[in-house]
Amino acid sequence: MEVMEVRDLKKEYRTVKKEEGIRGSIRHLIKPRYGKKEAVKGVSFSIAQGESVAFLGANGAGKSTTIKMLTGILKPSGGEVSIMGKNPFCDRMENAKKIGVVFGQKTQLWWDIPVIETFQLLKNIYEIPDDRYEKNMREFREILDLDAFLGQPARKLSLGQRVRADMAAALLHEPPILFLDEPTIGLDVAVKQKIYAFLRRINEEKNTTILLTSHDLNDLESLCGRLIILEQGEILFDDRMDKIFEQYPEGTTLEHIVIGLFNRRSCG
Amino acid sequence: MKKYMAYMRCGFLEGCAYRSNFITGMLANFIQAAVLYYVWRSIFRYQGVVNGYTWEIMRKYVFVAFLCNCSFSFGFEMNTAKRIIKGDIILDLLKPVPYRGMLFFRMLGTAGMEFGVTLILVGCLYLSVNGAAGIRLERVLLFLVSLFLGMGIKFGIQYLFSLLCFYTDNSYGVTKAREVLTNFFSGAILPLVMFPGGLRRVVEALPFQGIVFTPCSIFIGTFSMEESLRGIAVQAVWIGILWVFGVLFWKKASGVISLYGG
């Protein structure tokens, strides 16, 4: 069953065209000029229930923009998105119940109140029954080692603790689809491994569909069965993970191939 | 509703976490109230009645006005504005809860703390200056209704202003502009009856009076019962109008979120 279908998805940003120096700034103040930047130039793919897909691309390739459109926060400039049969932007709140999202660079934990309060809040927002909440919390506390800091406000957590708590927060309502945008950015090796082991388990046990962007290629390889490479807003590769070695036989590891691809971009 | 109660609870907890922030801010504002108090006192030494107000009325007005304006304070509004500018608002949008409702109840929770602290401080001062004489139950009840509606109006205005942050980077400017406008036009600084004719008519056509002047006049008794009920009705109408504007502006502004994508 397809849980996610994307057809010819486009996103244009308006950029400011400013000339250099004081004169340019003054001119901009009086008569601003804008240009257009196509961040995503018509991508199409579909993802089935239980797949785990890695989204790969250089910085600025359009990964985050695509994820934001899939989660219903950003309005696409063109094309269609369907998440479990619904348009995420028009049915944003309905869509929110079915997805979990982790942004490695942001946190959904409340900054100044204890982490456990955020979980309690999520329980109420998503209307999670008591027994499911207890069961999931028990599981997350054990696997993600949350106990040590549940009583602390988020501002006092280390990055590793914060991301682990964010991960639990995103999965508390057992969403069928999980989006992760660079969840392991800045984490140490041990925490990274813990996170990926956790994701593998969620994917296998609960059949959660995972779409994630990251630059940790080795971990991606072990977690994701499918790879989509974005380059300058277009899909360059979309197939099973092992197929990339057939397509680029000159590369010995995923890292080699990706470095080669990214370099080619900057030359072309 | 349970969702909103949960947000209110977190808002209250957050308010308690920020309490020292709030209390220093409030004390700073309180200096303004103290100055007003003494300025009015010296004015009334020279003139017994100013625009129908006597010193007995005015020394009540100063304190009650301060109480009416204390909730939904500046700091928390700044945070909301900053969340929009920094793009953290997307995390709020990923919840199956309407953004505005979430914001309102969260601020209401915080307001519980703000109002409680201010009530203790200002209540003691009010009683020590004016005594308990003249406080009547039916007026207190109407005052509470009007105060709550006034908070709704203040929130409606704050919400519209915060959405401006989709178009500008200056959260401080937007929030400050909102604060100055409401302070002046709501009657927080001086009672609206003191305004000259033309300005008075302008003020009466604006929503701000519902934040301070209406609840305050009801409490201190310068509004007759009929005027009080009319004032409350006007407040309710303004909440409706601001609500509609909020919906329309949100539709327009939320499409602009793309500017902060990346």
What's the pLDDT tens digit per position in B108-149?
A: 998 888 888 889 989 999 999 988 888 889 999 999 999 999
Question: Is B235 part of a structural domain of the chain?
Answer: yes
- Note the pLDDT of residue B15: 87
Instruction: Report, in angstroms and rounded to the nearest whole number, the Rg of chain B calculated over CA atoms.
Output: 19
Alpha-carbon distances of B188 from B31, B157, B179, B205, rounded to whole Å: 14, 16, 11, 17
Question: Is B259 part of a structural domain of the chain?
Answer: no
Which residues of chain A does B14 touch, with a Cβ-Cβ cutoff of 8 Å? Answer: 110, 112-113
pLDDT tens digits, residue range B191-221?
Answer: 999 899 899 999 999 999 999 999 999 999 9
Question: Is B29 part of a structural domain of the chain?
Answer: yes
Question: Is B262 part of a structural domain of the chain?
Answer: no
Question: Is B261 part of a structural domain of the chain?
Answer: no
Are the beta carbons of B94 and A64 separated by less than 8 Å?
Answer: no
Question: Is B58 part of a structural domain of the chain?
Answer: yes
Question: Is B184 part of a structural domain of the chain?
Answer: yes
Are the beta carbons of A74 and B93 separated by less than 8 Å?
Answer: no
Which residues of chain B does A92 touch, with a Cβ-Cβ cutoff of 8 Å? Answer: 93
A14 to chain B: closest CA residue: B259
Average pLDDT of every residue of chain A: 89
Question: Is B260 part of a structural domain of the chain?
Answer: no
Cross-chain CB nearest to B3 (options A106, A124, A153): A124
Q: Which domain holds residue B167?
A: 2-254
- What is the Cα–Cα distance from A28 to A86, expressed in whole angstroms? 41
pTM for the whole structure: 0.88
Which residues of chain A does B88 touch, with a Cβ-Cβ cutoff of 8 Å? Answer: 106
End-to-end Cα, chain B, rounded Å: 35
A179 to chain B: closest CA residue: B94
Are the beta carbons of B90 and A93 separated by less than 8 Å?
Answer: no
Average pLDDT of every residue of chain B: 89
Chain A residues within 8 A (CB-CB) of chain B? 11, 13-14, 39, 64-65, 68, 71-75, 92-94, 96-97, 99, 101, 103, 106-108, 110, 112-113, 117-118, 120-121, 123-127, 153
Q: Which of A244-248, B205-209, B257-261 has the lowest mean pLDDT?
A: B257-261
Residue B150: HSE in the Cβ half-sphere, 13 Å Cα cutoff? 30
Q: Is the alpha carbon torsion for A101, A123, A1, A49 positive or negative?
A: positive
Structural domain count of chain B: 1
Rounded to two decimals, the ipTM of the complex is: 0.85
